[in-house]
Structure 1
């Protein structure tokens, strides 16, 4: 009898661990972004140690833009909660506010670049300025990609495809947006510490 049960258990398919392929691709993408900024951070530290490094005060607007981006993370989390509660009207509002804060962040970053130029810190010239522009520019590019993801999530909410029964798109959007916020906090602290 035990042999029959053992044989039956051997024939039953084993439960496999599975992951949503889109979420898996997102996590791979996030890992590549982390590797990109880790390599840039390493290059920054090595080049800084070589000397001929212009030290400058980070423009104040970067502090304000950090607050704006953190606020956008709160509104993005609010959007996720509203999707889980099936409150579509508030979901649309939360995504819209997050999108507006993301645009405001980009505008503030651009103003920060203008402030750097007024301080005679240029992209070409001293490597410290070049690195600053590269870090903030790369992050800005990823924020633009995050805004595109937000637009798709907003469209899904208007088509009633983002709701309690279908959270995948809003989960991906929330994960990516929070990641971009954490990445900016890292960059901000890194640039404050090592500039």
Structure 2
């Protein structure tokens, strides 16, 4: 009886090693952005801070990231239901909206340049470029992850009995979406 209880306890705390590694990576990214946003607040209080409007494209990319997260969730639900064609469609829509987000961020940077806000110069502009750029880099890695999972879906390797890849991808993608929402609100409220 004691051995059965220990075995139950042991199995209830198990996590797939790749999921564990992904969660460690997510914690690292959270710490990075906590440090960057803290540095933003500290530097802003120094008094030398350029006043400018955030790019309107940030509003649009925020909507795109929300839609993208919905597509990712639909892909995951389709995998749980073994709806293989829907998995593929929703993953590809997630990839397209992810790429649209990245293009939107580049357009936002162009808006900043047109407004006279550059990477080098006042720290206010530098922080906007760094925060959106580092997030964009992570989102690019998410798009690569999505493409890997999409290829697996086209090879019939993503379905109700093989969910680890799509679960990890969905978790990472939703995290990136939530991270952008945090950054958007942070920049809007602290600008």
TM range (shorter): over 0.9
- Structure 2 counterpart SS, 1:190: helix
The structure-2 alpha-carbon separation of the partners of 1:159 and 1:53, relative to structure 1 and needing over 3 Å to count, comes to same
**Pair 1:134 & 2:130 matched:** yes
**Pair 1:144 & 2:166 matched:** no
CA distance in 1 between partners of 2:159 and 2:131 (Å): 36
**Pair 1:41 & 2:31 matched:** no
**Pair 1:30 & 2:22 matched:** no
**Alpha-carbon shift at residue 14 of structure 1 (Å):** 2.1
**Alpha-carbon shift at residue 11 of structure 1 (Å):** 6.3
After the TM superposition, which segments of 4 or more aligned residues of structure 1 sit over 3 Å from their partners? Answer: 9-13
Corresponding residue to 2:162 among 133, 149, 166? 166
- Structure 1 counterpart SS, 2:52: coil
**1:81-113: CA deviation from partner (whole Å, max 9, x where unpaired):** 100110110110000000000000000100000
**1:51-98: CA deviation from partner (whole Å, max 9, x where unpaired):** 110011111111001101110000000000100110110110000000
**Pair 1:181 & 2:173 matched:** no
**Pair 1:192 & 2:188 matched:** yes
Corresponding residue to 2:73 among 52, 70, 77? 77
**Pair 1:112 & 2:112 matched:** no
CA distance in 2 between partners of 1:11 and 1:64 (Å): 56
TM-score of the aligned structures, taking structure 1 as reference length: 0.93
**Pair 1:64 & 2:56 matched:** no
Higher alpha-carbon Rg: 1
Corresponding residue to 2:121 among 125, 131, 140? 125
**Pair 1:103 & 2:95 matched:** no
CA distance in 1 between partners of 2:64 and 2:27 (Å): 25
Aligned to 2:85: 89
The number of residues matched between the two structures is 187
Q: Can you give the 5+ residue segments of structure 1 that lack an aligned partner in the other structure? A: 1-8
CA RMSD of aligned residues (A): 1.1
**1:110-135: CA deviation from partner (whole Å, max 9, x where unpaired):** 00000000000000000000000000
CA distance in 1 between partners of 2:61 and 2:4 (Å): 56
Q: Can you give the 5+ residue segments of structure 2 that lack an aligned partner in the other structure? A: none
- Structure 1 counterpart SS, 2:119: coil
CA distance in 2 between partners of 1:59 and 1:71 (Å): 20
